[in-house]
Structure 1
Amino acid sequence: MFEELQETYENIMHAVCAEEVFGPIKSRNAEKRLAVLEEVFLAIAKTVNPGDYLGDLDAKEMAQEALKQLKKFRDRAREKIGAGIYGQKIRENKGLFIIRTDKRGYYVNTAEPWSEGDKCAVYRGRCVGGEEDAGDVAVKIADDPADNDFLRNEARILEILKKNPSPQSVHFPLILDHFETEDGRLGIITRLVRNSYNVYEIREYGDYQEGVPEKHAVWMMSRMLGAIGRAHHCGITHNNIEPQHEQVRHRAHNVILLDWAYASYKPRDTGEGFRAVNEIYSAPEVALKGSPTFATDLYSIGKSMIYILGGDPETNLVPDTVDECLRNFILSFVVESQLGRQQDAWRAHFELISLIESLWGPRKFMEFYMPDREEDFLAFKPKEKD
């Protein structure tokens, strides 16, 4: 059953317009077209029914996300049928810069980067013919051809994760395409993570400047452990987890781990090592140019949790307001010795779930408030960490 869910999820999440989900509807009669649309919608919806996955929280979340997007496509298809434009080619906006690949074209807002890193810049864009959030993309371009290897590595890692689907796929960027600019710089295109904030931005918000309440912090940690646990199962270490790369979708209670440019694949076999050091969030073995292990990523997650809770990740000081059992659990991630800290993300994940239930009883959904963000891809510019 999960294989069918995964296939349907990918089909829906890769689509950029209603026609790519429901296919051609040839009747000229609007009522008949609506009836055909509803039949196709119901057939697809059966495969992404969250009620079929009550025993698997990650699969349930995957189904919920797919069904939500499917309903948006259905609503848009109804509008198009009513307007008599379903299946018609959308005229291109000539006023925007367009990147073309073998797959499709993309409008890109190049007025200013959406965000900038050490090796690349990220711009917001939209697929030509794409609609609403389905067509919104993040376009990441290397600053210099000398930095292409980082983008090439990120594309490789995201493709490995994509080819090894699981319920945790919702925690990874969805790669859609790649390209090369005229001056030889590589670029990758991923689905934009809309209406979301990185952890730095959350901590800067008024309600959370002293720290995120522990009942919310633990679900963020749970999502991060699930994501990195899946990556480790695929032989991948992230090697650069820090708050800027932890993107939180507050309404969905989801966390997406970003920026896999520094990741390693099966480092024991390939010899791939560390390529970046974060003074606060990197484990000691990174600066010492040791070998990446799963414990390296878990150290960074522990440091991130200290920051999320309002503590000091430099000194490992966790606020006294945090429950002692939870505080000790988090500190087990940031032991200096590579072999002395937490080693297994999935084991830690289940330990965390057990701890949560022992402290507060069965898990319940609690709304995590952050203001919704402006969704106009031409106007939106998030606040960046200084």
Structure 2
Amino acid sequence: MTTTAEAIELIMNGGEELFDGDDPAGTFRRLARLTHPDTAGLDGGLAFGKLVRLWRNRGTIRSANGVYRTDTLAFEGDLANLYAQPDGHLKLARDPGSNDLMAREAAALRSIAERGDPRYLPYVPRLVDAFRHKDAGRTRRGNVIATTATGLHSLAEVAQRRPGGLDPRDAAWMWRRLLVALGLAHRAGVVHGAVLPEHVLIEPADHGVVLVDWCYSTSEPGDRIPAIVPHRRDHYPAEVLARETAGPYTDLAMAARLMADLMGGQAPQALRRFADGCRLASPRQRPDDAWKLLGELDDLLHRLYGPRKFRPFTL
């Protein structure tokens, strides 16, 4: 950039990415000198005003309901970046092409909060805010989400830490609570659609479970799962890959696959058969009621291990 005209064009067509690089303050000073209204006239003054606003607000995103920081990247999800906030995370789509999926997540969490049993709401994130954010000529959706649990770890991490398989007595509480989360959603008319290792978070000390990433959810009768996570393609039941109608049986099959993989060779034959029964090829032959399935799982666990008791779990 060597001229005032080039600086004006750069500012008027740009966003906070103007300050990317090793010397953001130096970039601001150079652009400010070239566009200051005392030397660049009215056009320069408009660009200068925008430049100052961008500099003042860098690292923040404003919605009608709040101001959110983007200077601490906590996670990189399938579709979005998650930025740490004092009471949760800002989940911002990396690409506008994912906006429809972000909208699905917001709609799903609203439905569950409005129609779900309050006792079980901590099993899913709470939607704090949902908005559109425009920068650099593109509009992306953001969802602000929060959980009551802390110290969460994904089941993908658990699998990495337990390469020999998880003791079924430890997997039992995770499976039970996952079924509670799914039962909560299904009663609210929502199918999660992506019960995958990265999307099931546990709180080891207190045996908490939170089911996250509702971007792939469905809530309309006859609806199909809108997209899949490519590197987890083999986790999806046939109806998802065939673009057919999904239902509670879809989530229950994926949950069973997840828990069977987590236990690996440590699962007793009876638990393997139970998981296999949730994953039959035909959706009509699979369980489709998470609460009923939870009762059946409890009966099986009682036969295998006796009365339930708290079993400490650490990573």
Structure 1 residue runs of 5 or longer lacking an equivalent are 1-93, 127-134, 311-318, 371-386
Equivalent residue for 1:248? 202
1:273 and 2:189 aligned: no
Find the counterpart in structure 2 of residue 73 from structure 1.
none
Q: Which has the higher contact order (CA 8 A, sep 6+)?
A: 2
User: In structure 1, how many angstroms separate the alpha carbons of the residues matched to 2:153 and 2:310?
Assistant: 19
Where does residue 279 of structure 2 map in the other structure? 334
Asked if the contact 1:240–1:276 (Cα under 8 Å) also holds between the matched residues in 2, the reply is no
Identical columns (%): 28
Q: Choose the corresponding residue for 1:190, options 130, 140, 145.
A: 145
Contact 2:196 2:254 in 1 (8 A): yes
1:359 aligns with 2:315: no
- SS of the equivalent of 1:279 reads helix
- Give me the CA root mean square deviation: 1.9
The equivalences for 1:79-90 within 5 A come to none
Query: Which has the larger Rg?
Result: 2
1:124 to 84, 94, 100: 84
1:225 to 165, 172, 179: 179
Q: Which residue of 1 aligns with 2:132?
A: 180
| CA distance in 1 between partners of 2:103 and 2:57 (Å) | 30
Partner SS, residue 235 of structure 2: coil
The amino acid across from 1:195 in the alignment is: G
Q: Partners of 1:180 and 1:285 in 2: how far apart?
A: 32
- After TM superposition, give the deviation of residue 148 of structure 1 in Å: 1.1
Q: CA contact under 8 A between 1:109 and 1:125: conserved in structure 2?
A: no
Amino acid at match of 2:296: E
Q: 1:115 aligns with which of 56, 70, 75?
A: 75
CA–CA separation in structure 1 for the residues paired with 2:68 and 2:61: 5
Q: How many residues align?
A: 252
Secondary structure of 1:179's aligned partner:
strand
Q: Give the deviation of 1:149 after TM superposition.
A: 0.9
- 2:71, 2:163 → 1: CA distance? 32
In the TM superposition, residue 296 of structure 1 has moved relative to its aligned partner by: 0.9
Q: 2: distance between equivalents of 1:344 and 1:332?
A: 13
Equivalent in the alignment of 1:146 = 97
Cα-to-partner distance string for 1:198-226 (whole Å, 9 max, x where unaligned): 01111112xx2211110010111101111
Map 1:372-383 onto structure 2 (within 5 A). Answer: none
> Structure 1 length normalisation: TM-score?
0.62
- Show CA shifts across 1:324-360 (max 9, x none): 2222111111111212222221111001111122222
Kept in 1, the 8 Å contact 2:170–2:313? The answer is: yes
- Higher helix proportion (structure 1 or 2): 2
Q: Within the alignment, does 1:163 sit opposite 2:114 as a pair?
A: yes
1:290 to 237, 244, 259: 244
Structure 2: segments with no counterpart, 5+ residues: 1-55
Task: Return the alpha-carbon distance in structure 2 between the equivalents of residues 326 and 145 of structure 1.
Answer: 43
